[in-house]
Every structure is written in structure tokens, then in C-alpha cells.
Structure 1
Amino acid sequence: MDRHIEVLPSFDALVDRSLELVLDKLRDAIAQRDQATIALSGGSTPTPLYEKLAAQDLPWDKLHIFWGDERYVPPDHADSNYRMARLAWLDKVPIPAKNVHPMPTDEDDPAIAAQKHEAELHAFFGTKPGEFPAFDVILLGIGDDAHTASLFPHTDALKVSDRLITVGNKDGTPRITFTVPLINQARTNLFMVAGDSKQEALSHIFAPDADPMTYPSRLIQPQGELWWLLDHGAGKNL
């Protein structure tokens, strides 16, 4: 694993550094494979990054957008990660509709939606069941409880090792999420972490020894690059 940890002096600097890295990885992917794949995270931290990406001159027809997790709400719901990214970024650029791959949330059973999205990923990447495709970039954040994507402490989703997509559980509410092995297959995983409230979680994530079932972000140990970009509030005690 190729791990990098950077503590940036401010939130704005965190966003600018994230933009620099994301653009670098996407352009490299397009140069090497003629397309780039990125999975987005939700929450408030990446929103300014998406707004800055909307102002870039990229070959939009070569960029494919996915999500690392999604709340189980309609796509126009205020809590939808898809809606947030669409308003901040995707509605502002000429990206083909077929290049945007939201997680489905329209099935009565979230497990069926997870299976549908898994089948879509296999079809897109040309992988077979049991194989894990490699995204070029997966954006991640952490919660105060050290969760990432919709991989929450002591939930069944943490143990899923044979699927790309599973159902996460946030206080009894279902979500759709990438599994740990799918995240770990990425060429680049990029955590954006901001705010004083993340200090305790980070202290456990970076500790020499701690239970990953309690601090799920510890499970992200990718084959590719792992970037932790922290603002001063989050990273000042590391």
C-alpha cells in the first residue's frame, strides 16, 4: 500500500489540494486507458470540490461518474448524494447522461437495488461475479464514528467480501454502499477529512492497533494509492 497523509492549513487548502490530485489522476487515466472512472462521496466536505470540478475543462465524454454510497431516498430528495453532486457539478458540464451511473433507489427491497447496481458495474467494467473492478479514483470521507461510505461500526456490511455492492445500515435506515474489497481495489482512494470533530476518529484510524469493526475506515487498505488529506482542524494532533 502506498499511503500519503497531508495536513493542510485550511479547509480551502484541503479542497484545492484535493482538486489537484483528482485532476491529476483523472487525466492520467484518460491518457492511459482513454477513459476515467471516479466514485463520489456524499456529505458537505466534498461539495466545494465538485463546484471547482464544474469549472474545469475536461474531456467529459471520457469521464464516468459513480457513487461510493447512497442514502435510500429518491434521486430528487434533499438527502440524495446523487442530487448533491448533480447540483454542484454534473448539471453544469456537458457530460453525457450515459456516463453518469447513480445507485438505484427505486426497488422495494434495497438488496435488489444493490444487486442491480452490482450487475451494472460488472457490465461496465467487463468483470465477472467474484472479480473486483478497479476504479481510477474513489473519494471517501469519515464520520465522527470513523465510518466511511455507508460502512458503519459493527454492521453486517463490513463483513461482505464476495460482493461489489451491499446494503449498509445507519441506525436501522438502509443505504447502498460499495463493499470494502471493492474500495480496496481502486487505483487511488482519497479521503477528504475536515473539522475538529474528526480528531478522535482519526486517532483510532491511525493507531497501531484498534478494532476495525469499531473503526471501519481502518479496513481501507488498498492495493493502489491511499491519500489522507486533512484540514488543520482534523489533523493538528496527528
Structure 2
Amino acid sequence: MVFRSCGRRIGISADFRSSPSETRFRSAPRAPMTTLTTRRFASRAALDAALEQRLRQAIGASGASAIMLSGGTTPLPAYRELARGPLPHDRLHVLFSDERYVPSDADASNYHQARALLEALALPASAVARVRTELPIEEAASDYERQLAALLNAGVPLGLGLLGLGADGHTASLFGTADLERARGHLAIAVHRPDGMSAVS
């Protein structure tokens, strides 16, 4: 699981002078300064607690902001704990890194997995950008791209984005360079995964 605040990752080089459990990466000279921190957790419970804390911090940020949620099993304990509330926020928006092309109430749906958290946040429908899987998949991708473009055009900053990493190396339903090439110039595309499932990334 990657906790990522909005920013660019360019010319990254490693700096191993930090503690053994924390490795810092700094941009190479002349690149825009970005620091990435890799944290290793002693237990799953420690990871869950750290993710919950980071999400709570992003949710409570002042002013208009957005968080990007991901699916999979890793973030679910944090989502469930946060759903216990209360969750004060100020003009928060929520979007998703990707969505499997399944009904929105299916167990495999990222939106469905985050539903309890969304209900605890009590956001208006206009503040939640989701993939409308009730549409044909290409239309769903185009519709989601329009939602994301509207969010960007409104100047809403992405305060935190969650990205999971599959055992085969995929993230956000992107499995290879062909997907990345098709995604150039787009905010969302329809993808057909090697496991036979389609998705919008």
C-alpha cells in the first residue's frame, strides 16, 4: 500500500542514512524536490493503525480537498475503523483509483467496499466521484473521466491518494505498458485485466 500525497516523482535516488525501518528517497539534483518515505511495519495491526491515522488526517484537512481511495483487502480495516466516526471534514471530495466492472453493490466493487466509510462521511452525491458501472464500460470510463476533469477544473487539490500493489505488480488495474500507453492524455480508461475481469482505471 502506498500513501501518496499529491506530487511528482522525478529522478528518484535512494538515501539510506535514515533508520533501518524507514528509507527516504530524494529527487536527483536539478529535479523538482520530492521526498518519498518507505515505512516498514512490524505487524499488520501497525499498518492498519498508520493508514487509519493518515486517512483521518487527510479527511480533516481544512478547505476543499480530495482523497483517492483504493480497493483490495489492505485498506479495509482502516475504512471500517474510520466508519465508526465521527469524521469532521471541510468540503471533502472522494474519488477512486480504479473500479472493477461489477455492480456497485457487489463484494468486488471498490465503491461497495468503502460504502460504510462514505456513509459515515455523509457526503453529498456530488462530492463522490465514482465509476458508474451500470453504464457500458467505455461510457463508464468516459463518464468517470468527465467527473475527474470537473474536480480538477474546480481547483480541488488531491490531498492523499491510496494505491495498492498486486502480487503481480499491477496497480490501479493497470497491468502493463500497453495500458499505460493507452492512458496517455486521459484521466480514465477502460481496461481488460489478465484475470478476465474488466475495470476502469
- Normalised by the size of structure 1, how large is the TM-score? 0.63
Q: Which amino acid aligns with 1:151?
A: L
The partner residue of 1:158 within 173, 180, 197 is 180
For residue 98 of structure 1, what is the aligned residue in structure 2?
A: 126
Q: Counting helix residues as a fraction of each chain, which structure ranks higher? A: 1
Q: Which amino acid aligns with 2:47?
A: L
Structure 2 unpaired stretches of 5+: 1-33
8 Å contact from structure 1 (residues 152, 170) kept in 2: yes
For residue 140 of structure 2, what is the aligned residue in structure 1?
A: 113
Q: Which amino acid aligns with 2:43?
A: S
Structure 1 unpaired stretches of 5+: 178-238
Q: Deviations over 1:3-62 (max 9, x none)?
A: 1001111111001111222233343xx32xx12201111011100111122234333462
Q: How does 1:1-238 map to 2 (within 5 A)?
A: 1-27=34-60, 30-31=61-62, 34-60=63-89, 62-87=91-116, 89-108=117-136, 110-126=137-153, 134-154=157-177, 156-159=178-181, 160-171=183-194, 172-177=196-201
8 Å contact from structure 1 (residues 40, 68) kept in 2: yes
- Normalised by the size of structure 2, how large is the TM-score? 0.74
RMSD: 2.1
Following TM superposition, the consecutive aligned residue runs of length 4 or more in structure 1 with deviations greater than 6 angstroms are none
Q: Classify 1:75/1:146 alpha carbon distance in 2 versus 1 (closer, same or farther; 3 Å).
A: same
8 Å contact from structure 1 (residues 37, 65) kept in 2: yes
Task: Report which structure shows greater RCO (CA 8 Å, sep ≥6).
Answer: 1
Q: Deviations over 1:128-163 (max 9, x none)?
A: xxxx98522111111110111111135x22222211
8 Å contact from structure 1 (residues 152, 169) kept in 2: no
How many residues of Structure 1 are paired with residues of Structure 2 in the alignment? Answer: 166
Q: Which amino acid aligns with 2:149?
A: H
Identity of aligned residues (%): 33
Measure the CA separation in 2 of the matches of 1:168 and 1:2: 31
8 Å contact from structure 2 (residues 87, 121) kept in 1: no
Q: Deviations over 1:197-238 (max 9, x none)?
A: xxxxxxxxxxxxxxxxxxxxxxxxxxxxxxxxxxxxxxxxxx
Q: Which amino acid aligns with 1:48?
A: P
Measure the CA separation in 1 of the matches of 2:172 and 2:191: 9
Report deviation, 1:93. Answer: 4.0
Measure the CA separation in 1 of the matches of 2:65 and 2:85: 15
Q: Which amino acid aligns with 2:199?
A: R
